[in-house]
Amino acid sequence: MNLLIRGGRVVDPSQSLDAKRDVRIENGLIAQISEHLEPDDWGFGETGVVDAENAIVAPGFIDMHVHLREPGQTHKETIATGTAAAVAGGFTSVACMPNTKPPLDTPALITEVLRLAGEAALARVYPIAAITKDRAGRELAPFWRLHDAGAVAFSDDGSTVADARVLRQAALYARDVPGVFIEHCEDPALKGDAVMNEGDASLRFGASAAPGLAEDVIVARDLLICGETGKPFHLAHLSTATSVDLVRFARSRGTACTCEVTPHHLLLDDHRFTDFRADAKVNPPLRGQRDCEALRAAVRDGTIDVLATDHAPHTREEKAGLLADAPPGFSGLEVALGAYALALPDLPLERFVALLSANPARILGIPGGTLRVGSLGDVTVFAEERWTADVSRFQSLGKNTPFDGWTFPRRPIATVVAGNLLMYRGRLAARTPV
């Protein structure tokens, strides 16, 4: 199947391209970008045509922080439903976190994730393996074997590697293994049993709370370990003003670190807690307004490298449990593009696209993130159209989002993976092998 994406504004920061162009995909790869292409120019095979008039055509979006829950928690999400949510949300690739049951700490489990992703045949899936065995923070995972099996990065996400000695040793052992360390930064001692951020909201509310310091001390520690060991670190879901300041400071000293921010930390503050429900419970917690503003400023000034969702699906029953017991997290893939645009209305499109394509591709060392001729035929088409999120239409099994009913200014129109049109205007195509 060949595909022609016609009439769109092509925004591809990897080749400083921002112009009205047609894009032709052949045999799964970008074949030609030109001012005007006709399906008949082709000469052979069947050609599908995607109308991208009044829309923006970008390299396929990559979400480098999702929880697909398989193996072991298929009541929350499966690789099939999670990747359906990805293509519905405009993502052509996702990198999935290893806090599954069991955690992704053996080559066989990485192989199994890749097999299930191949069967689902929707978004591409890049597994992230654990840093420590069983994510227990003690023994190191077999980095080379995990890499050889297909792991693109390492993380104990969901928890912090609490023991600095273990993390430093891991970074030294894994220094030559391809794959960034993705750090979840929350000090378990300072975090305690907190369900929310410590601030005026928690004082009024009376729930157990943790200070932003719980994140800041680990960010500082990890940046120092990154600088000392030379292992590249990527800091996940930053949520405080001090964290981004620390990243700026570390970079000024030449530390090779990158970082990401989520839609909810950009848009929502801890005043979302109005009752004892777990709808607003997430790790790290929603912070104060000043932190949200600092994160948005950090995206604008280039401190933040990546927009990532931390898609964390849970069942309705789980989220309806007691605030103290209910799991943290939001189902993010299907609202993310709209939420980013709402949070960052003035962000130039070129930067918006880079934060979702070229940057995560570079950090993970995976193909994609570009529309250069010969690269993957993965494309995201989106438009400046207002729409209202409706959780009942989610492909994800996780219906837990604080954004249900919100109206957003931007939406995905089409998701193309290897030249296959997998989503067009909200409808998913029948599955075709990637």
State the DSSP string of 20-45: EEEEEEETTEEEEEES---GGGG-SS
Find the part of the chain contacting ligand DOR (CB under 6 A) among 10-18, 212-220, 327-335, 384-392: 327-335
Among residues 184, 231, 265, 287, which is the contact residue for ligand DOR, using CB under 6 A?
184
67 lies in the binding site for ligand DOR (CB under 6 A) = yes
Of 12, 21, 9, 87, which is closest to residue 368 (Cα–Cα)? Answer: 12
Radius of gyration of the chain (CA): 21
* Residue showing tokens 């199994």: 112
Judged by CB under 6 A, which stretch of 246-254, 270-278, 326-334, 415-423 contacts ligand DOR? 326-334
Choose which of 8, 98, 329, 412 interacts with ligand DOR (CB under 6 A): 329
Which sign does the torsion angle of CA 51, 56, 60, 65 carry?
negative
* Contact call for residue 262 and ligand DOR (CB under 6 A): no
Within 77-116, the residues that bind ligand DOR by CB under 6 A are 99
Q: Is position 395 an interface residue for ligand DOR (rule: CB under 6 A)?
A: no
CB 92 within 8 A of CB 52: no
Least separation in angstroms between residue 326's CB and ligand DOR is 11
Do 412 and 381 meet the contact criterion of CB atoms below 8 Å apart? yes
Mark 117-156 with x for binding to ligand DOR (rule: CB under 6 A) and - for no binding.
----------------------------------------
Interaction between residue 312 and ligand DOR (CB under 6 A): yes
Q: Does 183 bind ligand DOR (CB under 6 A)?
A: no
d(CA 159, CA 219): 13
Residue 328 as a binder of ligand DOR (CB under 6 A): the answer is yes
Which residues does 192 contact at the CB level (< 8 Å), separation at least 6? 208, 210
Q: Which residue's Cβ lies closest to ligand DOR?
A: 329
Residue 210 binds to ligand DOR (criterion: CB under 6 A): no
- Please list, in sequence order, all residues whose beta carbon lies within 8 angstroms of the beta carbon of residue 310, skipping any fewer than 6 positions away: 65, 66, 67, 236, 237, 262, 264, 282, 329, 330, 332
**Identity of the residue, 57 or 79, whose beta carbon is nearer to ligand DOR in the bound complex:** 79
Binding of residue 157 to ligand DOR (CB under 6 A): yes
User: Hey, which residues are catalytic here?
Assistant: 310
| CB burial readout 91-102, b (16+ within 10 A) else e | bbbbbbbbbbee
Interface ranges with ligand DOR (CB under 6 A) = 67, 99, 157-158, 184, 282-283, 310, 312, 327-329
